[in-house]
Chains A and B, each alone.
Chain A
Amino acid sequence: MASEKKIVPMKGRAWKFGDNVPTDSIVPTAVVQGTMEVILPHVLADLKPEFPKGVKPGDIMVAGHHFGQSSGRGVASKAIIASGIVCIVAESFARTFLRNSYEVGLPLLECPGASELAKDGDIVYLDLVKGVARNETTGVTLQARPVEPFLLTMLEAGGIIPLVKKTGPDLGRGGA
């Protein structure tokens, strides 16, 4: 689990995916109960066979609508982190996938127009705080939705488990 970190803009090589990518493709059911070593060669391989071998630490995923739909398997977000991907920018995310990802320290950026932002290999710049997505290869810049302050706090802590260790169960929100 990552330790406390400051949220800074990121720059990385793009991997392009389409709409409605299901968690079933991120971690196929056949390996869902396997160790990360077993899972990694299968991550998104049915949609892009070259992805598991080609992905490098610091790469960024660019996708369309409703990324991470279907099963709520939390291991999907963990497998993407383990593959080396540092952020996903997409038109929209399935809600359970969005929640799971922030809870394990994987930032997601929602950005209208993300489907057309980049092709495989382009260099992409992302600013979560300001809500900027830019293709440094083509020069195209898009306005993304800045990430919610609460999710940034969770990301800075390194996920929900370290956040709870720091704040207790009320997560600094008061209430129950």
Chain B
Amino acid sequence: MNMIEKIMAKRSGRRKVTPGDVVVCEVDCALLHDLSARSCRIVFEKQVGGKMAHPERIVTVIDHQFSPPTEEKAAILVAIRDFSWKNNMPLYDCGSGNIHNVALQMGHIRPGDLVVGSDSHSPVQGVMGAFCASLGNDSYAATVMPYSKSWFKVPETVRIEVTGKTRPGVTPRDVALWLCAEIGEGRVNYQAVKFCGEYLESLPFWDRYLFPLMGVDIGAKCAYIDPDKTTTDFADSVGCKGYEVERDDPGTKFVETWSYDISKLEPQICFPATVGNVAPISEYAGTPINWAELGGHGGGRLTDVEQAAQVLRKKSKHGHVNFNIVPGSRHVFSEAVKSGALAALHQGGATWFPASTGANQAVNMGAMAAGETMISTHVRNFPGRNGSPKAQMFLASALSVAAAATAGKITDPREFL
């Protein structure tokens, strides 16, 4: 069995599972954000009710709203807080960070765990050597909340091997954007994905994160990187205890293996209006921008902040651009204070926002008028996701976002190295 199958077997009380089996598994951790916590609460209270089996495993992060802009939104957050406090569920309130960063940074996800998430990017938690798939409100209300269980069909697993060394100015985010388009949107629908190869294995923990993150875009149910010392060192550093690491059995067979060499890659950009549209950034050089943002599920990591600070130390942001910095967690903010990146970005003209998902879906910031353009580290660029359907969203690395913020237009970030 591979890592996914071993976790599913362990948590369903079976010696072995095979792709295609439908199994019911014990859930170690369930993640909710403010958009989903509200609807799960309504379905649970109206249609199910009763006590929760393990409320301490159901973690809510209010991440789409760092501060409610209207009375109606404030009332929704009040209801979420009351529900969490009443049931003794862990709650991270406004300003804590985005759901995936917070769950990892606060030690809620451990190697070998079976995790579920309401957010569609939940497969990202496979970076920890855990199984993690997205579930809807009714699964939460019917089985996760009352019984701490969930049903799954055991997926087939595709192995994706990434080899080679990147050129200067090409970051893991460029590789992840490119890989998503190379593999293709929805290509591995319902399947699990194992990311491996010398390139991925050489990356630090928070750079590995970017690969299972795009699992949903290629259609994957879950994604993982074989847990190694990088994984367990991170787990130990955030206080994970009592975990059981699971790894692929020797000689594990995969339904397919695809190999990618990234040695010749240039910095990449994802252009409107879907994540499968990726090209070398030089093809879009010169496109004027109004907004630049580091934040969202694909950004706001410490390494993003450091890359941007490196650019803004050389040149301040362009006068016609607003540059938003949204840390992924409070930890990132503290580290940016210590490293001096906070001051460098501030002095370079960028604006710091509270830890959150930032402009994701323009829930509490980041709406654009028709004709406006943003370049960001966010993960999606569908029309209308950030205000007007006639606004444009480009997705790129933190280095490219910062380079565009200083130039006032999309530009090759290698000019700033």
Contacts and interface: CB of A to CB of B under 8 A. Distances in A.
**Does A associate with B in a complex?**
yes
Interface of A: 1, 20, 22, 24-25, 28-29, 32-33, 46, 65-66, 69-75, 77, 92-96, 98-100, 103-104, 148, 150, 159-161, 163-164, 169-171, 173-176
Interface string B137-155: 1110111001101010100
Contacts of B276: 20
Interface stretch (B233-241, B380-388, B403-411): B380-388
B361 A29 contact: yes
Q: How large is the interface on B (under 10, 10 to 19, 20 to 34, 35 or more residues)?
A: 35 or more
B164 interface: no
Contacts of A175: 12-14, 23-25
Nearest to B274: A20
A164 B143 contact: yes
B120 A169 contact: no
B189 A95 contact: yes
A96 B14 CA distance: 25
Contacts of A33: 35, 38-39, 76
Nearest to B380: A70
B221 interface: yes
Most chain B CB within 10 A, of A69, A95, A104, A173, is at A95
Contact of B186 (A94, A163, A176): A94
Contacts of A150: 22, 151, 153
Contacts of A96: 120, 134-136, 216
Interface of B: 11-14, 22-26, 35-36, 38-39, 43, 47-48, 76, 118-120, 122, 134-139, 141-143, 146-147, 149, 151, 153, 185-186, 189-190, 216-217, 219-221, 274, 276, 361-363, 380, 382-385, 389
A25 B276 CA distance: 17
A1 B48 CA distance: 12
Contacts of A92: 186, 189
Nearest to A32: B35
B274 A73 contact: no
Nearest to A29: B361
Given A161-B141, A173-B24, 17 more contacts: A20-B186, A20-B274, A20-B276, A29-B363, A70-B120, A70-B380, A72-B120, A72-B135, A96-B120, A98-B190, A100-B137, A103-B139, A150-B22, A160-B142, A169-B147, A175-B13, A176-B25
A150 B153 CA distance: 10
Most chain B CB within 10 A, of A65, A74, A175, is at A175
Contact of A74 (B39, B47, B48, B363): B39
B146 A169 contact: yes
A75 B185 CA distance: 23
A22 B384 CA distance: 11
Contact of B48 (A46, A100, A161, A176): A161
